[in-house]
């Protein structure tokens, strides 16, 4: 089984390399950013892709979206330091087949890869329960993958023109997305929007 690990931290990649080699049934491919990951995915067609949410160019959510546009049957696991159910819910709603926290047991990581490779979803039971609870909260703000990505880039200080270039959409699309975000959060200005998003740990 070919497994693509997308992460920009050398120590994480080294740990995954050792773990997958020890597993015996996995061959590891690797990439350190979204652009490289898209090239590796196109060239080697991995059976499973494990994608870190926080990448240096665009987010793992955006990378997963781009991969699935080209390969709708791609089997993707989102990988993060954050065990917040909002991130896990976003991953599953965006088409990922699993979500793994970097603080999980290594065996859980390997089990998730095998489950997703077999065509099943992999989500820890406690995380699934948290997501179900989150969805039952009527006042929770639900963001699309694009809205979350635009918000993340705004928080990094990117202008709307820069965001449009990074996520390959028009300036008008970014402006419309920003307006929708301000409406969802009842924010009057972009700075107020970013402050609210940071306070609620959305970015």
* Domain closes at, from 114, 135, 156: 135
Q: How confident is the model at residue 139 (pLDDT cuts 50, 70, 90)?
A: very low
The answer to whether residue 136 scores a pLDDT higher than 60 is: no
44 vs 125, residue with greater confidence: 44
Q: Domain count of the chain?
A: 2
Query: Which of the listed residues 135, 160, 176 is the one where a domain comes to its end?
Result: 135
Residue 140 counted as domain residue: no
What pLDDT is attached to residue 135? 55
Tokens at 15, concatenated: 């740990």
Any domain includes 55: yes
- Gap between the Cα atoms of 85 and 96, Å rounded: 14
Evaluate if pTM is beyond 0.75.
Answer: no
Q: Verify that 165 and 130 share a domain, yes or no.
A: no
Question: 110 and 156: one domain?
Answer: no
Residue 157 belongs to domain with CATH number: 1.10.10.10
Query: How confident is the model at residue 138, as a pLDDT?
Result: 45
The tokens for 172 are 């008008």
* Boundaries of domain holding 168: 145-199
Q: Please report the pLDDT score of residue 185 as a whole number.
A: 79
Joined tokens for residue 152: 């993340």
Residue 101 DSSP symbol: E
Judgement on whether residues 100 and 46 belong to the same structural domain of the protein: yes
Is the model's pLDDT at 112 over the cut of 90? yes
CATH of the domain at 118: 3.40.50.2300
Angstrom distance (rounded) from CA 28 to CA 74: 16
Are 46 and 29 spatial neighbours (Cβ–Cβ below 8 Å)?
Answer: yes
Residue 37 has pLDDT above 50, yes or no: yes
Specify whether 14 is located in the same domain as 110: yes
pLDDT reported for residue 103: 85
Dihedral angle computed from the Cα positions of residues 127, 47, 95 and 110, in that order, rounded to the nearest 10 degrees: 10
48 and 110 in a common domain: yes
Beta-carbon contacts of residue 113 (< 8 Å; ≥ 6 apart):
1, 3, 26, 48, 50, 77
């Amino acid at each position: 089984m070919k497994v693509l690990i997308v992460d920009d931290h050398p120590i994480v990649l080294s740990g995954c390399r050792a773990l997958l080699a020890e597993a015996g049934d996995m061959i590891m491919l690797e990439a350190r950013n979204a652009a490289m990951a898209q090239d590796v995915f196109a060239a080697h067609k991995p059976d499973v892709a494990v994608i870190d949410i926080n990448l240096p160019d665009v987010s793992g959510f955006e990378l997963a979206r781009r991969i699935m546009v080209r390969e709708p049957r791609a089997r993707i696991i989102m990988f993060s330091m954050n065990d917040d159910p909002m991130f896990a819910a976003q991953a599953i709603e965006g088409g990922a087949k699993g979500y793994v926290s970097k603080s999980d047991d290594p065996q859980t990581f390997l089990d998730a890869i095998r489950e997703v490779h077999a065509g099943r979803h992999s989500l820890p039971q406690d995380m699934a329960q948290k997501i179900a609870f989150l969805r039952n909260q009527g006042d929770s703000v639900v963001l699309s993958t694009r809205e979350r990505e635009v918000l993340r880039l705004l928080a990094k200080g990117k202008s709307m023109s820069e965001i449009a270039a990074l996520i390959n959409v028009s300036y008008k699309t970014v402006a419309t997305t920003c307006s929708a975000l301000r409406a969802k959060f009842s924010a009057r200005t972009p700075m107020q929007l970013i402050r609210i998003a940071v306070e609620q740990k959305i970015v």
